[in-house]
A and B are shown apart, each in its own frame.
Chain A
Amino acid sequence: MEHVLGFVALAAGLIIGLGAIGACIGIGIMGSKYLEASARQPELMNALQTKMFLLAGLIDAAFLIGVGIAMMFAFANPFVLK
């Protein structure tokens, strides 16, 4: 049982960590492109802003779902029989 708990703790860390890497790279690339685009064409700023927030939510979602699952593993561990 102890080693199951250890593996689940490692898994929770990996889920959050790898998810965070992906989400941060995604948000970073998108944010930099948005700033670049709105510096080139400031008149498009408002139209692009809506789309950027929409995409930020989409990128964030997978990561936050991962955080939710990792938290569930940590606190209501389904792998250990009670």
Chain B
Amino acid sequence: MSIEEGAVQAHEAAANAPTAGEYIGHHLTHFNSTGHPQASIIDFSVINVDTLFYSVTLGLLTIFLLWLAARKATSGVPGRFQGAIEMLVEMVAGQAKGIIHEEESRKFVAPLALTVFVWVFMMNAMDFLPLDVIPNIWQQITGNHHAYMRVVPTADLNATLGMSMGVLLLCVYYNIKIKGFGGWVHELFTAPFGSHPLLYPVNFAMQMIEFAAKTISHGMRLFGNMYAGELVFMLIALMGAAWSASGTGVALWVGQVLAGSAWAIFHILIVVLQAFIFMMLTLVYIGQAHEGH
């Protein structure tokens, strides 16, 4: 065998078995409308098809489950399913009542909070599926073994920032509805520091920073938690992948099982907590829009 042939074979072997960096990079690439990885950080012409598909599917599933509970609801002795949904609805209604005092707004905001909570929970819970199952099935279906697919919609910044911007729009809507357009503009220029012409620019700047910070941190918090969680699952999967490649492999295999179970159990807490926090912050931000300064 010549040196070039050896080099070619080594190169092919390297291409077949991805390195740790390649594996992670591949798993962090979206299946998007362009067909190849997104090149620049911000590119509004790219649509992440996988994020859209999973978020819409899970949203429909959420609606279907809640509709099922509502359709079969009985005033007699409730079954387990109805009981669970009732507890959920009562919990959200209680939180909404504590934060938003307007009866009229609650008719819309409480169901919104319930939708947000269940929907975000379902999207976060996609993290519990074994990391490679759905991407592998997708690669088998398409016949392309390098097909990209990410299954956790909330680990995509586009989805979470989209939702937090929806909340921002609702804040603007309720600000105008409750205080009137004039009242809101008055508040924008006079709110934190007081009504004095010299303070108008400072007040306005503070208000704008507050809105931007609220929206970005709202989206980033959910994204960051889910992204980090997904990455840790990938690292644990890599530990299992290194099993066959090394002599001390069995320890790695045991380590993967232990670390995977431990992280999955801890992740149950994070998934529910982050969905709850997203819901609570939605309520708090919309509640702030109801309060005059």
Contacts and interface: CB of A to CB of B under 8 A. Distances in A.
Interface of A: 50, 53-54, 56-58, 60-62, 64-65, 67-68, 71-72, 75-77
Given A61-B221, A64-B225, A68-B231, A75 B25 contact: yes
Given A58-B221, A65-B225, A75 B20 contact: yes
A67 B273 contact: no
Contacts of B24: 75-76
23 contacts: A50-B95, A54-B277, A54-B280, A56-B273, A60-B273, A61-B225, A61-B277, A64-B224, A64-B228, A64-B229, A65-B223, A65-B225, A65-B228, A68-B228, A68-B231, A71-B228, A71-B231, A75-B24, A75-B25, A76-B24, A76-B25, A76-B28, A77-B21
B49 interface: no
Contacts of A54: 276-277, 280
Contacts of A62: 224
B220 A65 contact: yes
A41 to B, nearest CB: 18
Contacts of B270: 57, 60, 64
A54 B282 CA distance: 13
Contact of B274 (A57, A72, A75, A77): A57
Interface of B: 20-21, 24-25, 28, 95, 220-221, 223-225, 227-229, 231-232, 235, 270, 273-274, 276-277, 280
B25 A67 contact: no
Majority secondary structure, A binding face: helix
A72 B157 CA distance: 14
Contacts of A57: 270, 273-274, 276-277
A71 B21 CA distance: 10
Nearest to B95: A50
Given A54-B280, A57-B274, A57-B277, A68 B224 contact: yes
A65 B221 contact: yes
A58 B277 CA distance: 8
A60 B273 CA distance: 10
B276 A71 contact: no
Contacts of A64: 224-225, 228-229, 270
| 9 closest Cβ pairs, A-B complex | A65-B224, A68-B228, A75-B24, A61-B221, A57-B277, A71-B231, A57-B273, A68-B227, A64-B228
Contacts of A61: 221, 224-225, 274, 277
A56 B274 CA distance: 10
B231 A72 contact: yes
A72 B235 CA distance: 11
B224 A53 contact: no
Contacts of A72: 28, 231
B21 A53 contact: no
Contacts of B95: 50
